[in-house]
Amino acid sequence: MEFSLINETIQHFEGDSVIVFCNSNTVFDDKNIQTLIELNHFESKSGKVLSLSLVAGFKSRQVIVAGLGDAPVNAKDYVKALNSVSVVLAEIKAKNLMIQSVEIKGFDESWVHKTTAKVMHNATYEVQKIGDDKKNSSIEHITIQSTMDHTQALIQGQAIADGMSLTRHLGDLPPNVCTPSYLADAAMSLAEEFNLECEVLEEADMDKLGMGSLLSVSKGSIELPKLISLSYQGNGNEKPIVLVGKGVTFDSGGISLKPGAGMDEMKYDMCGAACVLGTMRAIAQIKPNINLVVVVPAVENMPAHNASKPGDVVKSMSGQTIEILNTDAEGRLILCDALTYVKKFNPKVVIDVATLTGAVIIALGKHNSGLMSNDQDLADDIINASKTALDGVWQLPIEDEYDELLKSNFADMANIGGREAGSITAGCFLSRFTQDYRWAHLDIAGTAWLSGDKKGATGRPVSLLTQFILDKISV
């Protein structure tokens, strides 16, 4: 799918379809369109679409009218409208279309173009069934109406959607395919395609580094653990932004086995890993002047005679000991060693991304990712980026009172804090390994995938993280 900008009236566009927007205050100068809208009793609510054919005065065959809700138009309504339009475009197999420019409350034209490219491209994602060839969307070219040249915005929007597509694809793969070695191979292919540096540590290497916590999770599985690092160098020796993604390619719970219902969805427990790889893809395509490192601890969590047992005590790379009271709280056990490991990159900031707790879904549902941080300026930057990217987060506190719940009689800490505030105690656990740098944690257990009829990876929060990184260069 290609995008371009044009300063022309929609009536003159000669492709298959033009997309025209309509908010609660719109009265079209074009009498034909205005009459057809009235005849069809079209309601200008966001999500509503009216498909018209062979409208007099229009060179394109199809005119798709999309509702935007109340004026001034808000950003979420615009995205909802684009998604509804995408459904119609797929039905009519449109190849070549033009999108009318719109004004969105609180954002400039370049944001509108970036978002349009991102949403339209992302809407064409399809699950790739095992054994099938990659299907391409019917859309070949989208022309966006614009008064100015915003080519960079289009490049960014497309790159973010390409990153999201990688994230969704990896997430949707079955867990017998997407194993820790598969993730390592995916990282190496990215490195080859974009000329990045890639290093994969094996079990023996991690053992030498003293990663007793990480290895305690993988030891019950036949799949060997991998610690993947991928670096993009766009600004000499500047300190890098480091992203760490939880890569549990299947989380059975281990000896603290999960209940059977819905357990298949624990293939998505590597969505943090998929997200940081997707973000790397987006950044490598945009090529900004920054340095970025992504690190993925990749393991499978299985029950076995040699798996960790509740009560086991392990020693992390940091030297701190951990009593494993629940083998299903495995994400923090692999992340803590990865978070100690990343000190070697001398990071400017570290953000970890993880499907860490079921509790965050109870707290925030499927709309916002949980955000925790040891640095309020960093948290604020992430919140701002999330507003631009329309990829929501909500901050939860990291405070001593919660941290105390991790007390153990047999080790420096336990790996669970009890029933209360489960997402926060998980964050507190991680914060014990991130004292040496500015750090934030995103709990994406609610946002990384959808369940039910719409089961599938969302590609979140690639858009947020890419925006966060891009915001760092413009200041």
User: Is the distance from CB of 191 to CB of 294 less than 8 angstroms?
Assistant: no
258 assigned to active site: yes
Of 23, 116, 252, 355, the one binding ligand BES by CB under 6 A = 355
CB 42 within 8 A of CB 18: no
Binding mask 425-464 toward Mn ion (x if CB under 5 A, else -) reads ----------------------------------------
- Binding letters toward ligand BES, positions 126-145, x by CB under 6 A: --------------------
Annotate each residue in 308-337 with x if it binds Mn ion (CB under 5 A) or - if it does not, as one string: --------------------x-x-------
Interaction between residue 331 and ligand BES (CB under 6 A) = yes
Buried b (16+ CB within 10 A) or exposed e, 12-21: ebebbbbbbb
| Strand 17-22 versus strand 96-99 pairing type | parallel
3-state secondary structure of 81: helix
Q: Check binding of 213 to ligand BES (CB under 6 A).
A: no
Q: State the nearest-atom distance from the C-beta of 423 to ligand BES, in Å.
A: 8
In the set 258, 309, 348, 387, the catalytic residue is 258
Q: Binders of Mn ion among 189-248, rule CB under 5 A?
A: none
Contact with ligand BES (CB under 6 A) among 106, 174, 358, 365: 358
DSSP 386-399: HHHHT--EEE----
Using CB under 5 A as the binding rule, whether residue 251 contacts Mn ion is answered as: yes
Kindly write out the interface string for residues 210-249 of this chain, putting x where it contacts Zn ion by CB under 5 A and - elsewhere.
Answer: --------------------------------------x-
Which run of H or E residues covers position 35?
A: helix 31-39
Tell me the residue type at 470.
L
Q: Tokens 């205050």 correspond to what residue?
A: 25
Give the CB-side neighbour count of residue 54, counting CA atoms within 13 A: 0
Q: Round to whole Å and give the CA distance between 203 and 45.
A: 55
Strands in 96-99's sheet, in edge-to-edge order, are 2-6, 141-145, 96-99, 17-22, 62-67, 49-53
State which of residues 422, 427, 459, 461 lies at the interface with ligand BES (CB under 6 A).
422
332 is catalytic: yes
Residues binding Zn ion (CB under 5 A): 248, 251, 269, 331
Q: What residues are labeled active site?
A: 258, 332
Binding site for ligand BES (CB under 6 A): 251, 269, 326, 328-331, 355-359, 416, 422, 445
